[in-house]
Amino acid sequence: MKHQNDNSRRDFLKKLTGSTAAMAIGSAALAGEQREKYIEFLSRQRYMANDNINIALIGAGIMGTQDTITALSVPGSKLVAVCDLYDGRLKEAKEKWGQDIFTTRSYKELLNRKDIDAVIIATSDHWHQQISIDAMKAGKHVYCEKPMVHSVDEGPAVVAAQKETKKVFQVGSQGVSSLGNEKAKQLLKDGAIGALNYAEGFWARHSPAGAWQYPIPADGNPSTVDWDTYISNTTKRPFDATRFFRWRNYTDYGTGMAGDLFVHLFSSLHFITESFGPNKIYAAGGLRYWKDGREVPDVLLGTFDYPDSQAHPAFNLSLRCNFVDGTSGTTYLKLVGSEGSMDVTWDSVTLKRNKSVDSDDPFMIEQMKRAGKPITSRKRILAPEEYTFAAEKGYLGGPYDHFVNFFTAIRNNGKVVEDSVFGYRAAAPALLCNDSFAKDTAMLWNPEKMQIIKK
Ligand SMILES: NC(=O)c1ccc[n+]([C@@H]2O[C@H](COP(=O)([O-])OP(=O)(O)OC[C@H]3O[C@@H](n4cnc5c(N)ncnc54)[C@H](O)[C@@H]3O)[C@@H](O)[C@H]2O)c1
């Protein structure tokens, strides 16, 4: 099949020499050759706005607070209301953003307000679907944290609600709006790594907070927490502060390492390759260290088959997540092709391109001559050429750009990349890792139709 990314090395080089931001610095002696190191700086224009978009936050914990700070740093946004099920968060919200902010435990009360244009949904995962649908039906634009849904069967209703209401709906894997992801997408299109055949990504951590052992507030009890509402869409149990404040560790509320972290890598990979996703998903893992009563693994591996499609050739993906990693603190995404590879972050792309040349080994040349073979028949691989594409100093980052894209779509009646269909296609293979792990079998998925294939 002909793929839209089937460009050659020549396309890439043509663009490279035309770039004004590029420069070659220094030179390195590699394998006896002089090599220039190439660096190009990536930049963005400042965002401006003449009016205010009124926003509200639902779920004012770690990420909701961070999202709101980011959203308010974009010109033309104003926070009017905050909702949370724990009173401590509402108190903190007023201290941070002013006593005149409207606060409530009920998201439905917040959605009834006419002065809100858009909501940020940053609750635990098991509330994303219901609140997203209710919010769009109440006429609000939605920025919903990842993963878009808590289980694969929840996705179609969100897609349908967005289609029906025509609201701007954006999922919060902020990397897809970053300069680094955009550059990687362009490089792949220009043929910089040849034909894609493999990708890999990982998250490595080794700390209690990194492994989701978050602090439990001393005043977290049934009078300050609306536990009944929290569990109203899942298994009924008596109040449990550990479950409420460390919800990621329990399958009723969280989506494990795959839903929490793999989903970011799927989002970036799908954005860069324009892929709809894998058709075969297999996960393995276990609970090795953080044995605190959690129901989810702390080491997880996923392998994925991506079928040949219009966007890309067939390739394989390998993801892993380790909360007991002695090297710790690393996130990583690499795309490998027939002519090179790219290490992709939100702020940079490091491109390595292989180069093979005729042998210059005198012994080999002599042997070849004696054997009567042309000396060009044996090649050797040189250390790869390296190109760095890095965001310029002062870049405001992927999270900022993600809110700029969200607000721009609201203002222009436009579209966002990470809409409900994109969000579902990124969440589904991550969530199917959980199903694969639980059932100890590979899951089959039709990424185009967004349907599980029964075996
Ligand atoms: N994009 C990212 O980089 C990123 C990073 C971290 C977390 N997240 C996502 O953000 C979401 C929140 O994660 P967190 O770490 O902030 O968790 P958190 O526990 O710190 O915050 C969640 C908040 O939601 C509130 N809540 C839960 N159900 C609610 C409901 N029905 N109505 C109102 N409030 C409700 C809780 O009381 C809590 O304060 C998760 O979906 C997570 O996956 C995204």
pLDDT digits (tens, 9 = 90+) for 388-405: 999 999 999 999 999 999
Atom of ligand 1 nearest to the CA of 83: 33
58 CB within 6 A, ligand 1: yes
Quick one: pLDDT band at residue 50, thresholds 50, 70, 90?
confident
The 10s digit of each residue's pLDDT in 267-281 is 999 999 999 999 999
The 10s digit of each residue's pLDDT in 290-317 is 999 999 999 999 999 999 999 999 999 9
- DSSP-assigned beta bridge partners for residue 349: 344, 389
pLDDT in the model for residue 385? 85
Give 177 or 23, the one with higher predicted confidence.
Answer: 177
Q: How far apart are CA 221 and CA 242, in angstroms?
A: 11
Q: What is the residue-averaged pLDDT of the chain?
A: 92
Helix (H) or strand (E) holding 390: strand 379-391
pLDDT above 60 for 377 = no
The 10s digit of each residue's pLDDT in 18-39 is 554 555 544 443 334 445 578 9
CA angle 86, 87, 91 (to 5 degrees): 130
Mean pLDDT across 87-116 = 98
Contacts of 417 (CB under 8 A, 6+ apart): 176, 177, 271, 405
Question: Can you state the angle between helices 420-439 and 263-273, rounded to 10 degrees?
Answer: 130
pLDDT in the model for residue 372? 79
Q: How far apart are CA 401 and CA 408, in angstroms?
A: 10
* Cα 288 to middle of ligand 1, angstroms: 26
pLDDT in the model for residue 328? 73
Q: How far apart are CA 112 and CA 103, in angstroms?
A: 13
DSSP E strand boundaries for 111-182: 118-121, 141-144, 169-171
Mean pLDDT across 252-269 = 98
Quick one: pLDDT band at residue 229, thresholds 50, 70, 90?
very high
pLDDT in the model for residue 175? 97
309 CB within 6 A, ligand 1: no
Question: Which three-class secondary structure state does DSSP give residue 318?
Answer: strand
Q: Contact at 8 Å (CB) between 255 and 150?
A: yes
pLDDT in the model for residue 66? 98
Q: Which CA distances in Å does 238 have to 221, 222, 231, 232?
A: 11, 10, 10, 12
Owner of token pair 């893992």 = 285
Question: Can you state the angle between helices 87-97 and 62-73, rounded to 10 degrees?
Answer: 20
DSSP E strand boundaries for 139-290: 141-144, 169-171, 196-204, 280-286
Atom of ligand 1 nearest to the CA of 226: 37
Closest CA to 203 of 286, 349, 327: 327
Owner of token pair 């939100």 = 346
**pTM (two decimals):** 0.92
Mean pLDDT across 360-368 = 74
403 CB within 6 A, ligand 1: no
Mean pLDDT across 84-109 = 98
